[in-house]
Structures are given as C-alpha cells and as structure tokens.
Amino acid sequence: MSTEPDYEESIVVNVGDWVERAKTDPVAYLERQATELFLATLATIEPYRTSTFLKGGILMGVVYESHRQTGDIDLTTILEPKQGVAEEFTQALNDAFPHVSAEIGYPDLMCRVQSHKYFPRGEAFPKNDGPAIKLGIGYAKRGSNQERLFHLGRSPDKLEVDISFREPICAVRIIKMAPDEYLFRAYSLSDLIAEKIRALLQQESRNRYRRQDFYDLSILINQSTFNDPERKQVYETLLKKCHARDIEPTRSSLTQPEVRRRAERDWNTMRLEIGDLPMFDMCFAVVVTFYESLPWPD
C-alpha cells in the first residue's frame, strides 16, 4: 500500500439534495441515484472504503455544487496494483449493492459491475508508473424496459468508474453522506486543484483536450480564500504530483500556447452540460492569476 495521506476536517454533504436537483430530467435523475448508491456501497466494503478516494467531476458536483454534468466517477486508490484487483473490487461491489440499495431507500434500483479493464493490460499493469482499472457498472429499475438487458449484463445505462494507482495524494477528507450517514473519502481541495492543474500541463504529452479543467478550477478558486500556508500546500502538492509524472512546472507553464489551445478547443460544447457557460477567457484569467500567485522560486 502507498503512503497514507493526511486527513483534513470531515464535512457533511447532503448527497440526496444533489440527486433531487436532477429530478426534472429522468435520465440524469436515475444516473445520480445510481451514483449515490455506488458511493454508499464504496463506503461499506473493505479494504476499499478507507483506501480509495473520490476526485474529478462527481466530487465537483456533490461537494462543490458544480453544474457540469458527468456520469464518470474518478477515484484514486493507495492499494498496490496487482493482477486480479479489478475482479476483487467487482466482487465486493456486486455482493454489497443489493442490501445497500435497500438501506438508502432505492429497493428497486439494481446495480452490477458488467465489465472491467486493465490499463495497461497483462504483465505491464503492476509494473506501470500510473496504472488504472475501469469498471462499467450497469443499472436499471425493477420492472423497467431495461431490466432484461441488465440481467444479461448489457444494460445501456452505465456508470464508468476509473480507478488510478500510484498517484501521490497529500491530503484527503472524510465526506459524511446525509441523510444516510455513510462515510466515503475524497481528495482535499489542494489535491483536487493540483491534480487538475497537472492534467492541463499533461495535455500535449498525453494528446488530451481538457476543456473542463479551467472551468472546474475557476469554481474552486472563486469559492475559496487562500492564505499563504494554503497556497504553499497547493504548490507543494502540485510539485509532488508533477514530479511523479516527470513534469517540472514553472510559473509560466500554464500560459504556454499549447496548454491554452487544447483546453479552449472544445470549450463551447460544455453549454450542453452547463447552460450559462462563462467565457473561456474569464476562467482562464482566474486560474492563471491563482497559479502565478503560488510561491514559485524567483
């Protein structure tokens, strides 16, 4: 197991309210119910409940009230990658889904892991510097048209769960789910910000276009007031995460033309998820101002 991160003060989050905010959209509403069921189930299974941490878009929506819609669940675990870990995680989830769904008031909601994949595959997986597994979790309501396909393992409604290994984590916090009182672990604010910045810096090397990160980062930065120790914590966390992927960030890294070009390219497609989408330039300026205010060496 990797190094245990520090723990920050726990918070209470009404996940039920987050689910109910999508009630006017039946598809999104069911997806959020399935997400709530997944998080509650994760909070009950060993050893994953204390070693696996939520990050990404779902954390943004549940804790930081982002309007960006996403069905992908991103996690990091401090467990060591090994062959068979995806199968073990699958079994633990599938064993627990039925009773947890009844406990949280969704007795007719069925969830089951339908698929799993290793990245990279085969013997390279446990040797890789940043391996991952992906789980496809099908869900359906009893009595629905999708129930037959669900039982065949081919549910069209799925949660995509990405779990990363060997990712440096400096601090996490415990999230208490209201009203059910399940406890799951999530990235601290500094880890969430640092990892999103690193993802932007990795765009070119990984051939990615990270349209969402400047938006997410602007929300996180605008919601908070950072004192000098907190800025130092973000800076040190960023360095740790970057060095783990052979990146040497500088004060000017985020304003490199290719970083901006890739992040801006698909920006306007987020209108489908957000509606009142701010201008890219506004979010970019917020994030760059914060980034440059970190305690970079002269």
Q: What is the CATH number of the domain that holds 81?
A: 3.10.450.620
| Beta carbons of 243 and 194 less than 8 angstroms apart | no
The verdict on 85 and 198 lying in the same domain is no
- Between CA 155 and CA 152 the distance in angstroms is 8
Strands across the sheet containing 183-187: 6-14, 171-178, 183-187, 52-55, 72-77, 158-164, 132-141, 109-119
Would you say the C-alpha torsion 93, 95, 98, 104 has a positive or negative sign?
A: negative
Share of the chain above pLDDT 90, in %: 92
Instruction: Give the mean pLDDT of the chain.
Output: 95
pLDDT tier, 273 (very low <50, low <70, confident <90, very high otherwise): confident
Stronger pLDDT, 222 or 274, i.e. the higher one = 222
Residue pointed to by tokens 């629905």: 144
The kind and range of the H/E element at 55 are strand 52-55
The verdict on 167 and 211 lying in the same domain is no
Boundary residue ending a domain (162, 187, 212)? 187
The verdict on 139 and 235 lying in the same domain is no
Q: Which two tokens stand for residue 6?
A: 């520090």
The verdict on 79 and 112 lying in the same domain is yes
- Identify the CA nearest to 130 among candidates 163, 159, 160, 161: 163
pLDDT tier, 154 (very low <50, low <70, confident <90, very high otherwise): very high
How many distinct structural domains can be found in the chain? 2
Kindly state the average pLDDT of the residues 227-237: 98
HSE-up of 215 (CA within 13 Å, CB side)? 28
Q: Which two tokens stand for residue 92?
A: 């633990």
| Beta carbons of 124 and 83 less than 8 angstroms apart | no
Boundary residue ending a domain (187, 220, 236)? 187
pLDDT tier, 251 (very low <50, low <70, confident <90, very high otherwise): very high
Kindly state the average pLDDT of the residues 159-177: 96
**Model-wide pTM > 0.85:** yes
The verdict on 204 and 183 lying in the same domain is no
- Identify the CA nearest to 261 among candidates 223, 221, 204: 204
**pLDDT above 80 (res 153):** yes
- Identify the CA nearest to 144 among candidates 18, 19, 25, 27: 27
Kindly state the average pLDDT of the residues 208-235: 96
- Between CA 270 and CA 217 the distance in angstroms is 15
Kindly state the average pLDDT of the residues 147-169: 97
Does residue 233 lie in a domain region?
Answer: yes
User: How many residues in the chain?
Assistant: 298
- Between CA 28 and CA 156 the distance in angstroms is 14
Does residue 166 lie in a domain region?
Answer: yes
pLDDT tier, 15 (very low <50, low <70, confident <90, very high otherwise): very high
**pLDDT above 80 (res 39):** yes
**What per-residue confidence (pLDDT) applies to 71?**
78
The verdict on 176 and 220 lying in the same domain is no
The verdict on 118 and 222 lying in the same domain is no
- Between CA 279 and CA 212 the distance in angstroms is 13
**pLDDT above 90 (res 9):** no
- Identify the CA nearest to 194 among candidates 131, 264, 243, 267: 243
Q: Is 61 helix (H, G, I), strand (E, B) or coil?
A: helix
**pLDDT above 90 (res 179):** no
The verdict on 205 and 166 lying in the same domain is no
**What per-residue confidence (pLDDT) applies to 131?**
97
What are the pLDDT digits (tens) for 60-109?
999 988 888 787 999 999 999 999 999 999 999 999 999 999 999 999 99
What are the pLDDT digits (tens) for 239-250?
999 999 999 999
Q: Which two tokens stand for residue 182?
A: 């399940």
Boundary residue ending a domain (135, 154, 187)? 187
The verdict on 99 and 141 lying in the same domain is yes
**pLDDT above 90 (res 2):** no
The verdict on 50 and 135 lying in the same domain is yes
The verdict on 264 and 199 lying in the same domain is yes
- Name the residue type at position 49: R
What are the pLDDT digits (tens) for 186-201?
999 999 999 999 999 9
Does residue 298 lie in a domain region?
Answer: no
| Beta carbons of 210 and 283 less than 8 angstroms apart | no
**What per-residue confidence (pLDDT) applies to 3?**
76
pLDDT tier, 4 (very low <50, low <70, confident <90, very high otherwise): confident
The verdict on 151 and 207 lying in the same domain is no
Does residue 297 lie in a domain region?
Answer: no
**What per-residue confidence (pLDDT) applies to 237?**
98
Query: Which domain range does residue 139 map to?
Result: 6-187
- Between CA 34 and CA 32 the distance in angstroms is 5
| Beta carbons of 202 and 253 less than 8 angstroms apart | no
